[in-house]
Amino acid sequence: MKITIQDIAPGEEEEIIVRCRNLDEALLRVIHEIKTRRGKFTVSDKDKIRQVDAGDVYYFEAVDNKVFLYLEQDVFEVRYKLYEIEAEYENTDFFRASKSVIINLAKVRQFAPEFGGRFEAQMMNGEKLIISRQYVPALKKRLGM
Amino acid sequence: MTEHFKKRITEFFLTFCIATTGTVFVSAVYINIFWRGALLDPDFLWQNLLLCFVCSLCNFIHPFQESSRIRVWLNIGARYLYINVVILGSGHLFRWLDIKNILMLAVMMLEILLVFVMVSWVMWQLHKKDSERLNEKLQEYQRTGGRT
């Protein structure tokens, strides 16, 4: 496979173009890695604007038409909609767990059973989130069950 | 058919099978206490099956959106209430339950509770097993970087 790296002018947006016959598993894995590790979210931190690596995000939650990004300890509001994040980060570690939450599977310590066919995702920072019954089949599929 | 719907249908049939098994046992106890020596109408068996089917439909009852633990419990309560209404109403209609007989009513309600607990316990065990498998897969997923 030929790999071409081009220099770009300062300020120009970085771009990766994949030219292939079949989008096989190995390629999907590479895209997954790039998207998760290189993806960044712009957040407002008090008066400042800063960027957060997608790989550091624990989960996103929508509350009253606002979307919040949760890191290990910090919380920031983001300007994205949940469905935009879901679409943009498809085939990455981000998984829609309920109508209002997207979790990062890489930050889940374990799943615990809950009443009503639901699961509780216990995150590595100790937080607990609910996986709705409606999204359980998708979770199983994602994890290869 | 979506995966979610398939799962709900599977759960429905599973509930029906467990509820029917439980009902056979509690019916035997009920008949021994209140209808000992009576000649049973074969329709009773069909009524049992029909009631188990109708009660298993409670799997599709979610009056409250399950966004919190309290709402999940409210849904469980609503299902339990539905089952009680169906069985006590049908028992009265099919004439194997005299709702004016307090003892008969109490035993029937206790039996409903027993079957409800039994079905819930089996479903919970299956769900627990599912979560164990899910955790194994999660570990594998995290170890391999999402290549499961």
pLDDT tens string B16-61: 999 999 999 999 998 888 888 878 788 889 999 999 999 999 988 8
Nearest to B60 by CA among B4, B116, B131: B4
Residues of B numbered 1-40 whose beta carbons fall under 8 angstroms of chain A's beta carbons: which are they?
2-4, 6-7, 11
Mean local confidence (pLDDT), A101-109:
94
DSSP 3-state of A21: coil
Mean local confidence (pLDDT), A92-108:
92
Report the 10 Å Cβ neighbour count for A32: 18
Return the domain boundaries, chain A. Answer: 25-142
Mean local confidence (pLDDT), A102-106:
94
Mean local confidence (pLDDT), B69-96:
91
Continuous H helices in B35-101: 43-56, 69-93
Q: Looking at the complex, does the CB of residue B67 fall below 8 Å from at least one CB of chain A? A: yes
Say if residue B148's pLDDT is above 60.
no
Taking contacts as CB-CB distances below 8 angstroms, the residues of chain A near B138 are: 105, 108, 110-111, 143
ipTM: 0.74
Report the 10 Å Cβ neighbour count for B2: 10
State pLDDT tens for residues B102-124: 999 999 999 999 999 999 999 99
Mean local confidence (pLDDT), B68-74:
84
Look up residue B69 and give its amino acid: R
| Distance of alpha carbon A63 from alpha carbon A61, whole angstroms | 6
Taking contacts as CB-CB distances below 8 angstroms, the residues of chain A near B11 are: 117
| Distance of alpha carbon B51 from alpha carbon B41, whole angstroms | 16
pTM: 0.74
Confidence band for B5, pLDDT divided at 50, 70 and 90 = confident
Q: What class has domain A25-142?
A: mainly beta
Return the domain boundaries, chain B. Answer: 3-116
Interchain CB distance below 8 Å, B67 and A98? yes
